[in-house]
Each structure stands twice: as structure tokens, then as C-alpha cells.
Amino acid sequence: MTPYILYSDGKGNIFEDTTLYAVGRSGWEAMPIPEFEWIELPEGGSLYELPGRQGIGIDVHSGEMRLCEKGWAVAAFIPPAHTGLYLAAYETQPDAPTLPLFCYTATGWHNEKFYVPAVRIERDIRQEAGGYDQAKVEEGVNELLQAYPHNRLVKHLAENCALTYHCPAARNYFLGRWECPIPSSPACNANCIGCISFQPQEETITSTQDRLTFKPTAAEIVEYTVPHLETAPYPIVSFGQGCEGEPLLMWETIREAIIEIRKHTNKGSININTNGSMPDAVEKLMEAGLDSIRVSTNSARPDIYTKYYQPNNYAFEDIVESLKVVRKYNGWSSINYFVFPGVTDCIEEYEALRDLIKETGLNMIQWRNFNIDPDWYLGKMNISDQGENLGIIQMMALIHKQFPDLKFGYFNPPIERMKNFDVDFAH
């Protein structure tokens, strides 16, 4: 089974072209996708038309690769908990606009259904599209805004995150379940090319969220997180969200909050999503009671990391040190690994990742789809040919074989899963 290519008429209407089979892209290269790597587009996935781009496919008769002349290329945004294995394959016209900060996975049509090359990497259902009842979210928003009338963070999570950005984590907070976000930092010490909370004026794309504009107090953090830890199923409270800069820049406030939270409850876990830039601050937070860390990275190679993060006053070695510090305190350590087919699965990256896992004693890889325009990323990073590629699914299999205790997923695990990852946590 190979799906047919999709194209759009530029007005939001999408059609299949039955003269062409769909292919995928890895790095700069278009290639056929093995049959077993296609799955039906999961619920919550969406399709994008790509202006100024023509899809590449395989002619059903000649077997030759050629462009689809019928319209714009189409890509899929696959929902959380799934990792894309190939990018959408297309040719970009010189005046094509840069695409916004979403992931662009290959897609096709077969038997009246949309297909994507992807794998479900996470069984946790906390961000299933079908699990959000908007009326209940709004009910929760009204209730908690009344409960905390002077709390700027709850107001931010309500008005911006839940009701404007439709952030899954914020909506879960207002539904009284699972992982609750704690944005805390208006500033950052990195300058990521694809930053989702801040894009420089000169760039044509905009950030998907606006960065937090105030510094919350420890009291504001404690006020709404303690009741969440006390009452939510599988509760986690997480510093470091998409709507802020780098939380470690606020480590004193975070430490104060952790100490205060643990005076009131020992339930659930306290996590930080971070760029991992300040290992000394991480140590202070572990001493205070932090349970887990998730360090974001586009690569396990210092040069590829540095070109993307453009760090101020820290280096790749600092993020490695932060991961090691957490393990020293027997905390749970994950990397938020931005998967880019053709870069992530090249031999050099695979070897660097193995070294990183060995050196840090890493607990988990969260194989995340990289939300960025592929041409723009490769161009900005000046990445040409990365040499031989393993394929994302083969790379996952190789890493799993060498590190059988290393967990794969997409979300920060609750304390129950940190203790026993295979616990049957029926939400």
C-alpha cells in the first residue's frame, strides 16, 4: 500500500492526485517510504497547504520521481504522542514565504483515508484531542479565576494559554488533571532560531505564543499548584513552558516555591522543562526538592546545538552537566529531542546521542516533532548533506537495543511512572 500524493488549490481545498504516489523527505532528499512506516493520520492531526511549494511524488506508471503540477504541496501536523518519520517532500519556489513554526510531516491518501509516516511513541493520553471538552475547560477557568482573583499566573494561564493558545497543558490544569504548567521567566539566555515565544523583528515568521511579561512570585506559584498536586490524578507541576523564556533565570523564586510547596504536600512531582544552561542552579533546585528535568535540544552534537541555540554565556557542556546533576540526586532526567529526519538520524548524531546517554545516565528520550520550516532550518544552520542516514525508526530501535532501560515517550512521566514506567496508569 502506497498512498497517493495530496495537493491543494491554494484556497484550503485538498485533493489526491492518483497519477503520483506520495514520498517523504529526509534532509534535502526526497525518497520512497516503506509500506510499514505509514499509519492513518491520528485524531487531532491536521493538514497544511504549503504556498509556493510543489509536491514531489513517484509516477504510478513510470516509477519516476516528478513534481505534482496540479497545485500546492500538502503536509500533515501530527498530534502529540506521535513522532514523524519523514518530512513532506516538495520543491520550493524562490519567492515562497517561510512557513510558520509547525511540523511538516509527509502525508498521502489511500482508501478514503489520510496517512502519515509516523509512530505512536507515547501511550499516555494526556493530550488526546478527543479528551478536551471546551465547555468544561471554560467552567474550570471561571471557577479558578474566582478562586484566585489576584493571581497573575492563573489569569495568564486562563486568558492566554487555555482560551487563546488552546495550550493542552493549561487546559488540563483547568480540567483539574495531570500536568499543570508554571511559566515563570520573561527572559531567556538563548536565541533559538525557531523560538516559539520570541521571534526577532527582522524575521518574517511570528512566534506561536507571546512571552510572559512579568516575574511571578513564589506565593503566586504555590497558591494554585498545591491544590493541583493535592487533588489531580497523576499530578505533575512543571516549570518551563512554551510561553516564557528560560525558567532557570528565575531559580531563586523557583527554589522558594518548591520548598514552600513541599511544606504543604508531598504528592505528585515537580518538574522543570529547561534549556539546561545553569547546572549550579539545577543543583540548588534538586536540593530543594525538584523531582525531574527535561532538557530541550535539537542535537547531541555541540556544533549543531550551538548553531541553533546561539547561547548567551553558556555552552553545550552545561546542559550535559545539568542532566548529570539530576541523576546525582537520583532525579528523573529526560531530553526533549527535536526530531528532524535527515539530521537526527545521521550516523554522527546517532553516535553523539549514544555518548550523551552513556555520559549522563539519561532516563528518557522524548522524541518530539521539530516545529520549524525545513528549508529555513537547514538554510539557517547551513546544513547540506549529512551523509548516510539510519532512518528514524531504525535509529530508535538501535538506541533501544543498546540502552534497554532508557525510556521513550513524548511527555514528562508522573511520579508513578518514574517508579515503574510500565505501570498501567489508566487515566
Binding site for ligand SF4 (CB under 6 A): 188, 190-192, 195-198, 245-246, 275
Q: Please, what is the minimum distance in Å from the beta carbon of residue 121 to ligand SF4?
A: 21
Q: Rounded to an integer, what distance in angstroms lies between the CA atom of residue 165 and that of residue 159?
A: 9
Give the residue with the Cβ less far from ligand SF4, 322 or 389: 322
Q: Which is nearer to ligand SF4, 139 or 317 (CB)?
A: 317
Nearest-approach distance from CB 122 to ligand SF4, in angstroms: 21
Nearest distance, CB of residue 408 and ligand SF4, angstroms: 23
The residue (of 179 and 223) whose beta carbon lies closer to ligand SF4 is: 179
In terms of C-beta density within 10 A (0-12 exposed, 13-18 middle, 19 or more buried), how is residue 383 classed? middle
223-262 burial: b if 16+ Cβ within 10 Å, else e:
bbbbbbbeebebbbbbbbbbbbbbbbbbbebbbbbbebbe
Spatial distance between the Cα atoms of 21 and 26, rounded to a whole number of angstroms? 17
State the nearest-atom distance from the C-beta of 294 to ligand SF4, in Å: 12
d(CA 243, CA 233) in angstroms, rounded, equals 25
Minimum CB separation of residue 288 from ligand SF4 in Å reads 22
Give the nearer residue to ligand SF4 in terms of CB position, either 172 or 197.
197
Tell me the closest approach of the beta carbon of residue 300 to ligand SF4, in angstroms.
17
Contact of 199 with 207, CB cutoff 8 Å = yes
Rounded Cα–Cα distance for residues 62 and 20 (Å): 10
The enclosing H or E element of 336 equals strand 332-339
Residue 136: all three cell numbers together? 468544561
Q: Which residues pair with 54 in a beta bridge?
A: 91
Phi, psi of 365 (to 5 degrees): -110, 125
Closest approach, Cβ 209 to ligand SF4, in A, equals: 10
Number of Cβ atoms within 10 Å of the Cβ of 59: 12
Residue 308 CB, shortest distance to ligand SF4, in Å, is: 9
- Cβ neighbourhood burial of 361 (10 Å; 0-12, 13-18, 19+): middle
**Burial class, 60, CB count within 10 angstroms (exposed 0-12 / middle 13-18 / buried 19+):** middle
Rounded to whole angstroms, how far apart are CA atoms 181 and 232? 13
CB of 183 to ligand SF4, least distance (A): 10
